Amino acid sequence: MTTQEIYPHFTKSLLHPKYWLTWIVIGIWYLILLLPYPIIYQLGQGIGLLIPKIMRKRRETARQNIKLCFPDLSEQERNNMLRDNFISTGVAVFETGMAWFWPDKRIKKHSTIIGDEYIKQAQQAKQGVLLLGVHFLTLELGGRILGMSHPGVGVYRPNDNKVLDYVQLKGRLKSNKYMIGRYNTKGMIRALKNGELLWYAPDHDYGPKNSVFAPFFAVNKAATTVGTSILVKLGQPAIIPFTPKRERNGKYTVFVSPPLPNYPLGDDIAAATFMNKAIENEILKAPEQYMWLHRRFKTRPKGEASLYSNEVQSN
C-alpha cells in the first residue's frame, strides 16, 4: 500500500447508535436489490416521479440547466426531458446499489460493452488511460460494468456519513484496484505514468479556483477545471471517454469512445473548450440520463448575475 491509496476499514465506531438508522436503510436497500430487475425499475420510477415534488429547488435547477443548454427545444420537449431525468434519478438510487452489491454474474447478465478495444490498445502499449467519465446518473453502474474487465483507479471524495463512506468505498473497489483522493494530483499522475486506468470526471462546476470559463452547450462561459491539462501534460495518457446508458429493455450499454486526439496543451481556455465539447458529445448519447440536478453554472465571472437567481457573483 502507498500513501495515496485509499481502502475501506471497518471499525467499531461504525456500530455507534447514531449510525443505526443508516444501517437499517442500507439493509432495506440491499433487500430491495434482491428483487427482479423490473420491480426494482418500477420502484425507482416511483421515487423519480416523487423527487420533483419534494425537492423543488433541485427541480428548478435541472429545469434551468436544460433550458440553458438546449434553448432550441420547445417547452414541451424540455418538460419531457425533465420528467425523464427525474425518473432516471429515482432509478439511479437502485443502480448505485446494483453497482455496489450485485454479484458479477448478475451485472454481466444486464450489460454490454461496446468499444473496449480502445482501452485494450492503450494498455497493450503500456500507456496510461484517463477514462473520461461524465456525471451520468448511471455512472456508478457503468464504472462497475467496465471495471470488471478493466479495473482502474477511482478518484474519490469521502462521504460525511462514515457508514455510507465505508459502504461506498467497499462497493467501488469491486471495480477498482484502489481509490485516490480527488485533490491528490501527484498520485493521479503517478498512476497514469504506471500505465493505470484513471477514472476522471471534469464536467462539474468545481468553483473559481483553478478554473477558466469556456463554452458548454449554449452557455458561453462555464467554469471548467484546468486540472485535466496538468494530468495530460505530466501523465501523457490516452484520453478515452465512456458513456453508460440505460436501454429501454432493461439492459445497460457502456459505450467506449476512441481516444481524443490533439489535446491543446499550453492554452487553458482552448483545452477547456476541447474537453467540454467532448463531454457534450457523450451527454448527447442520453441527455435525459445526465445529472442536471447539479448547479453546473453556479460560478460566474465577477459582477455577472447568477444564472439561477438575481444574485451577483462576488468571487
Query: If pLDDT is split at 50, 70 and 90, which confidence band does 182 have?
Result: confident
Half-sphere exposure of 189 (CA within 13 A, CB side): 13
Measured CA to CA, the distance from residue 191 to residue 128 in angstroms comes to 8
Residue written as cell 430487475? Answer: 37
Q: How confident is the model at residue 273 (pLDDT cuts 50, 70, 90)?
A: very high
pLDDT at 314: 47
3-state secondary structure string across 183-247: CCHHHHHHHHHCCCEEEECCCCCCCCCCEEEEEECCEEEEEEECHHHHHHHHHCCEEEEEEEEEC
**99-127 pLDDT per residue, tens:** 999 999 999 999 999 999 999 999 999 99
Quote the pLDDT of residue 111.
Answer: 97
**Which residues make Cβ contacts (< 8 Å) with residue 208, sequence separation at least 6?**
223, 299, 315
| 79 vs 74: CA distance, rounded Å | 9
21-42 pLDDT per residue, tens: 999 999 999 999 999 999 999 9
The CA distance from 249 to 267, in Å, is: 44
Q: How many CB atoms lie within 10 A of CB 37?
A: 16
Per-residue model confidence (pLDDT) at position 2:
53
**pLDDT tens per residue across span 86-104:** 999 999 999 999 999 999 9
pLDDT at 269: 96
Note the pLDDT of residue 74: 97
181 beta partners: 156
* pLDDT interval class at 8 (50, 70, 90): confident
Question: pLDDT tens digits, residue range 236-260?
Answer: 999 999 999 999 888 999 999 999 9
Q: Is the pLDDT of residue 313 over 60?
A: no
Angle at 313 between CA 309 and CA 314, to 5 degrees: 140
Render pLDDT for 36-84 as a digit per residue (tens, 0 to 9). 999 999 999 999 999 999 999 999 999 999 999 999 999 999 999 999 9
Distance, in Å, from the CA atom of 114 to the CA atom of 251, rounded to the nearest integer, reads: 13
Secondary structure (DSSP) of 85-150: HHHHHHHHHHHHHHHHHS-HHHHHHTEEEE-THHHHHHHHTT--EEEEE--BTTHHHHHHHHHTTS
Output the pLDDT for position 164.
95
Share of the chain above pLDDT 70, in %: 97
Mean model confidence pLDDT for the chain: 94
Q: What is the dihedral of CA 233, 237, 241, 244, to 10 degrees?
A: -130
| Three cell numbers written together for 185 | 494530483
For the stretch 196-232, pLDDT in tens is 999 999 999 999 999 999 999 999 999 999 999 999 9
Mean pLDDT computed over 153-164:
91
For residue 309, the model assigns a pLDDT of: 76
